[in-house]
Amino acid sequence: NRQWILRRRPEGEIRQGDLELVETVTPELKDGEVLVRNLYLSLDPTHRIWMSDRDQYMPPVEVGEVMRGGVIGVVEQSRSADLPEGTIVNPGLGGWQDYGVVTEGHARRTPRLAGVPLTAHMSVLGATGLTAYFGLMDIGKPQAGETVVVSAAAGAVGSIVGQLAKLKGCRVIGIAGGPKKCRWLTEELGFDGAIDYRSEDVGEALSRLAPNGVDINFENVGGKVMDAVIGHMNNFSRMPLCGMISSYNAEGPVPGPSDFGRVLMHRILIKGFIVIDYLPRFAEGMAELAPLVAGGQLKWKAHVVDGLENAVDALGRLFTGDHEGKLLVRISPE
């Protein structure tokens, strides 16, 4: 059983030696436990936060512990009548490892849906889709005709946010890195406009693409991109603060909006949220998302990197943008 162990807290970008892949023996099962062979590992920007000891929304991974991460797997040995061998399960937060021991009651069965690959449960029909859904609907509260801006728009969460906002009748502008991602947004996902923040001035582009201002800013990036969008937000606009990926590799605090007074003058609602806050409402979110996926109204992509041994290198792609859609590691074949 290979496991990635956090050896030291990264400073800045993750470096060789911050994590180590070790071989361990899988423990004997007790009654009520199952051995899960992990199939896919979700790689998430928040893994970088969990590796640090900054103030955060749940305890960090301790040095010496197996790195934490969302997985989906198949029961390979069972001492539980509820979870027989062959059951596909989602233990929620598992580890960066080949196998995990899971106690019954701590793993959700994942049904194989016709025409829906398992990877969907790690993306649009998993925490990614639910993050987009609850952040947009519960905090953004989109109304038809409003203008919605989303950053990291071609990413896993952002691409779903924009499509859900289009389904609500909004005008949607995505901010993403590079012409290829921007084309995907406008030509395939139906966004009304896209801004390449690497080559364009975001503020100037917004003046052109959102002449009536911004009613919802679904914020995934923080920093300069966020600052430019806040400068265009309307009276009583809303900003679901989902992520600030531009600062996850930073050491120490980063500057906030340059003109925080705008929040007062324009009565802007800024609300941070974490998808687990919505755990009691996950079934409601899934009931909304599943038919949209089945009906082809929500498009999504998974970027699957093969091999647990490549997990650390692959995580870096989230910070360079060198991936298309939800970043996953295939740990073992289905």
Closest approach, Cβ 76 to ligand NDP, in A, equals 28
Between 46 and 97, name the residue whose CB sits nearer to ligand NDP: 46
Between 34 and 43, name the residue whose CB sits nearer to ligand NDP: 43
Q: Spell out the residues 6+ positions from residue 325 whose beta carbon is closer than 8 angstroms to its own.
A: 123, 155, 156, 159, 300, 301, 302, 303
CA–CA distance, 334 with 330 (Å, rounded to integer): 9
Closest approach, Cβ 242 to ligand NDP, in A, equals 4
Residues forming the site for ligand NDP (CB under 6 A): 44-46, 128, 131, 152, 154-158, 176-177, 181, 220-221, 225, 242-246, 273-275, 318-319, 321, 323
Between 34 and 69, name the residue whose CB sits nearer to ligand NDP: 69
Between 41 and 156, name the residue whose CB sits nearer to ligand NDP: 156
Closest approach, Cβ 249 to ligand NDP, in A, equals 8
Closest approach, Cβ 257 to ligand NDP, in A, equals 16
Full 3-state SS string of 280-320: HHHHHHHHHHHHHHHCCCCCCCEEEEECHHHHHHHHCHHHH
Residue type, 30: K
CA–CA distance, 13 with 48 (Å, rounded to integer): 9
Kindly report the number of other CB atoms within 10 A of residue 112's CB atom.
10
Secondary structure class of 14 (helix, strand, coil): coil
Strands 68-78, 93-95: parallel, antiparallel or unpaired by DSSP?
antiparallel
CA–CA distance, 51 with 312 (Å, rounded to integer): 12
Closest approach, Cβ 78 to ligand NDP, in A, equals 31
Closest approach, Cβ 227 to ligand NDP, in A, equals 12
Between 35 and 330, name the residue whose CB sits nearer to ligand NDP: 330
CA–CA distance, 82 with 191 (Å, rounded to integer): 44
Between 164 and 245, name the residue whose CB sits nearer to ligand NDP: 245
Contact 229, 149 (CB under 8 A): yes
